[in-house]
Amino acid sequence: MSETLSHWINGQSVAGGSGRTGNVFNPAIGEKIAEVPFASVDEVARAVAAAKAASPEWASTPAIRRARMIFKFKELIEANMNEFAQIVTREHGKVLSDAMGSITRGLEVVEFACGIPHLLKGEFSEAVGTGVDSYSMRQPLGVVAGITPFNFPAMVPMWMFPISLACGNTFILKPSEKDPSAANYMAELLKEAGCPKGVFNVVHGDKIAVDAVLEHPDIAAISFVGSTPIAEYIYATGCSHGKRVQALGGAKNHAIVLPDADLDMTSDALVSAAYGSAGERCMAVSVAVAVGDKAGDALIESLKPKIEQIKVGPGTDADSEMGPLVSKVHLDKVRGYVDHGVSEGANLVMDGRDLKLQGYENGYFIGPCLFDHVTPEMKIYKEEIFGPVLSVVRAPDYDAAVKMVNDHEFGNGTAIFTRDGDAARDFASQAEIGMVGVNVPIPVPVAYHSFGGWKRSLFGDHNMHGMEGVRFSTKMKTITARWPTGIRSGVDLSFPMMG
């Protein structure tokens, strides 16, 4: 018997009232395990009303008290890590170690948010004019919303709401309908941590709920992570309704492999980056650019035995290294990309399409796939597959490899593998990409730096978390003050000069 999930509004679970629901599956067995309500426009409005009502008191709560609540939330996550990871694995499919790792990376942003009293400090200049001081402060925006993807149901929301709440905003979270339970679990932990009613709310749903969030006049800002077409839609629609928007889109992350690279270390890194979480990561390396045919041949030969050893299985199995894809629809999509790559003439070195696991025949599993001799004209090169598919491309020289990286429409992450410090330094400077790794395959910044791509991987002016997250979640106010000193300067209608 499947579970019926609820929204979380004004500090409590609220049953869905729209009459519309979606099915939640366990991807390892391909069976329905829950129903999630799809919010109506009125239900979204109810959540926004609760957030708006809670906003004035929460905004006026001293930052140190907000930080203490966030700190308690951090402690509760740590105390319940195993249960939290089980929730993520059951609905997403990723192996437990990966689920725990993603929660830990989200927790690092929670830890960063605990320092909000320091992060909100403004600037002060004494005597900018005779008897005049100037200072600045950062104040909350009001109601902020987050729309998050299926691939990281815990981590990505934690990139958003802890900083937003710590800055004094109230928050509406619209998680993916594919794995919604993590959002409800975090709402319960926040309540236990002392989060006041209405400060954090969860509404589930599809495009109707998303559009209601985008169009509601009382939502000041929206943060989004997902595919590029949807990111572009979120950005355009949100901005047209007067909202501040950061919308992170898709990726096609390249790793350049120079002939002098440590081949064993490089192939280890590429296998981890391409096939971890079944490739369902916006920072997954999906293209390896080998500089020279000799380097390409050596790379393929180094990759093959390591890929063959990957243990595919249900995420709850301690021996599993790669779990299933999130849904049957997504499985069919990834298989279709592999089919297309073969039809385009790429060399399918390793084919995982026919993988079957005893006892899990209905699960959404696909084995690791490896293509060689992929070219930039191919669909599997141009588009984000979001599955366990690694394409090896051959470039004649370093300059051609860098051009390949820079010519792609996406600019999320990239990496270079080399022992040459000059080449690495040049690449870090010349790559038209938001996040660059040097002998690091997944260069996701730590919590006190910021995450974000370039080109069609990011719409908006602010990156995620770190100080960019604080700037996104606040508005700047500057005060210029003079107190009476007995000086009378008279009326002066000219432009004010402080010197």
- 227-246 pLDDT, tens digit per residue, is 999 999 999 999 999 999 99
Q: Is 282 a catalytic residue?
A: yes
How confident is the model over 373-384, as pLDDT tens digits? 999 999 999 999
Catalytic residue among 114, 167, 195, 282: 282
Residue 495's pLDDT is 76
Number of compact structural domains in the chain: 2
Q: Are residues 285 and 181 in the same domain?
A: no
Do 209 and 335 belong together in one domain? no
Rounded Cα distance between 253 and 287, Å, is 6
pLDDT at 455: 96
For residue 43, CA distances in Å to 3, 157, 198, 225 come to: 21, 21, 14, 23
- Report residue 494's pLDDT band, with 50, 70 and 90 as the boundaries: confident
Please tell me whether residues 61 and 28 are part of one structural domain. yes
| 207 in a structural domain | yes
In angstroms, the CA 39 to CA 210 distance is: 9
Same domain as 107, residue 19: yes
As given in the structure block, the two tokens for residue 90 are 């059951």
- Is a pLDDT exceeding 70 seen at residue 430? yes
Q: What is the CATH number of the domain that holds 10?
A: 3.40.605.10
pTM, to two decimals: 0.94
Give 274-283 pLDDT, tens digit per residue.
999 999 999 9
Same domain flag for 189 and 276: no
Considering the domain boundaries, does residue 447 fall inside one? no
Domain enclosing residue 423, as ranges: 253-438
Regarding whether 257 and 109 lie in a shared domain, the answer is no
Give yes or no for residue 489 having a pLDDT over 70. Answer: no
Question: Is the pLDDT confidence value at 488 over 80?
Answer: no
- The answer on 475 and 344 residing in a single domain is no
32 lies in the same domain as 171: yes
Q: How far is CA 36 from CA 15, 20, 115, 295, 475, in A?
A: 10, 9, 35, 49, 35
Read off the pLDDT of residues 296-350 as tens digits, 9 standing for 90 and up: 999 999 999 999 999 999 999 999 999 999 999 999 999 999 999 999 999 999 9
Q: Categorize the per-residue pLDDT at 2 as very low, low, confident or very high, splitting at 50, 70 and 90.
A: confident
In a domain, 384, yes or no: yes
Hey, which residues does 440 pair with through a beta bridge?
A: none
